[in-house]
Amino acid sequence: MESIYQLFSAVPARQGRRTWAEIDLDALRHNYRCLLAQIHRSSPHARLIAVVKAEAYGHGYPLCVKTLLAEGCDAFAVASLEEGVAVREICRAEASDAAILILGYTDPACASLLAAHGLTQTLLSPAYAEALLAEAEARDLCLSVQVAVNTGMNRIGFAARNPEEYAAAAASLRPLLASPRLRIDGVYTHFARADEVGIPAAKQMTDLQMQRFRALRQHLEAEGLSIPLYHACNSAAALYRPEDHMDAARVGILLFGAPALEDPVVPLRSVMKLKTVVAHLHDLLPGESVGYGGEYVAKEKRRLATLPLGYADGLPRACTGARVTLHTKSGPKKATVVGRICMDQCMLDVTGLDVACGDEVTVFGTDPAELTALSHMAGSIDHELLCGISPRVPRIYTDSSPRENTKKE
């Protein structure tokens, strides 16, 4: 079955075929089950917190969140208040009271919205905690919060890098725990280099962060400060550092099939396939160039195909030279992007291939390695390419499950 989700509400649902992102909900379901099983092998009681920020890494909220809820997921993480509200509305429609943790900044003046939507706000610092507490007291609210601690990422969080900072963090948390206006549901840290598996300096850094986090926990518990949930692992650490699972693991990019390494320990499947069609075919004569800047010049006659896909759709300009898959009448064929990628179009060298206008093209998604190859070509990471697929590209969902699909246009 197929469903459509358009990120730009002002853009109508897909009319005909141009460029689209095909989202395989069966693959999302498979990845969730594999990752949860992997976590539970060493930590049977640890929760999997599904990180679905940035429209579920570009895959679209409604059906991705609904699918994870149906699998039993009871905790999500997002980056902002707006994202939290969007996920909460989906949860309410599914009669779920799943926890939703906001990992980033929310203006303390929005405390009422946090309470109304049952969202858990991260405390970014002692000063931020005081500001949010003041708003909660002024509005007679009780807010769910978690405490971010800085063990070495040096981005946000209560400082926790040495015994003096552990003591200072405990002193800051004591009055917050005593207040009826804030309910501290968890404490977490974030690893800076856990995904650099096999690099000694990266392992040393992650080991140091975990040592600091465990030391902080011991200090808080010794001070009689009881907090129900501690978590440190991101996607890579959830796989490669099972000893650090603690009470939960925050898993994001792996849910969507982007491997943490070239040799992942679980059989992930790509959730997104970026697809387009051949819009035009023509011959490039010897000595002629194609596209802006004349960077590609034919030494002999070449056959070119033009695709209605460019950097405004999410294919970076740096991906000239990428290999994509043409689905021709005689089977799948590989072709190379030539010339500069334009805002809305790009060109392929299809010399010698039996290509016809209207043939489908898969840019990535047949194999997780395809996305990684593109991200390396762009000097980036899988996360950025997935999140960079433009809102004008409709998300087309496929799902073989018997549950009824919905259509949002």
Structural domains of the chain sorted by starting position, each given as residue range(s) with its CATH number in brackets? 25-256 (3.20.20.10), 272-398 (2.40.37.10)
- The amino acid present at 389, given as its one-letter code, is I
pLDDT digits (tens, 9 = 90+) for 274-287: 999 999 999 999 99
The token pair that represents 274 in the structure block: 């970026």
Among 57, 230, 275, 292, the active-site one is 292
Tell me, what's the pLDDT at 146? 98
Question: What DSSP designation does 218 have?
Answer: H
Active site residue 301: no
How open is the CA angle 83-85-91, to the nearest 5 degrees?
Answer: 105
Active site residue 397: no
Q: Helix 200-222 crosses helix 163-178 at what angle (to 10 degrees)? A: 50
Q: How far is the C-alpha of 277 from the C-alpha of 146, rounded, in Å?
A: 46
**The pTM is what?**
0.92
Tell me, what's the pLDDT at 81? 98
Q: How far is the C-alpha of 332 from the C-alpha of 273, rounded, in Å?
A: 15
Tell me, what's the pLDDT at 10? 59
pLDDT digits (tens, 9 = 90+) for 150-176: 999 999 999 999 999 999 999 999 999
CB 232 within 8 A of CB 191: yes
Tell me, what's the pLDDT at 16? 74
Among 5, 32, 53, 311, the active-site one is 53
Tell me, what's the pLDDT at 266? 85
The token pair that represents 55 in the structure block: 């429209």
147: Cβ contacts below 8 Å, ≥ 6 apart: 122, 123, 129, 157, 158, 173, 184, 186, 187, 188, 227
Q: How far is the C-alpha of 32 from the C-alpha of 255, rounded, in Å?
A: 6
Question: What DSSP designation does 293 have?
Answer: G
CB 234 within 8 A of CB 189: no
Tell me, what's the pLDDT at 369? 85
Tell me, what's the pLDDT at 317? 96
214: Cβ contacts below 8 Å, ≥ 6 apart: none
Q: How far is the C-alpha of 122 from the C-alpha of 155, rounded, in Å?
A: 13
For the beta carbon of residue 254, count every other beta carbon within 10 angstroms: 23
The token pair that represents 237 in the structure block: 């650490």
- The parts of the chain modelled with pLDDT lower than 70 are 1-2, 4-15, 260-264, 402-409
Q: Where are the alpha helices (DSSP H) in 223-363?
A: 235-240
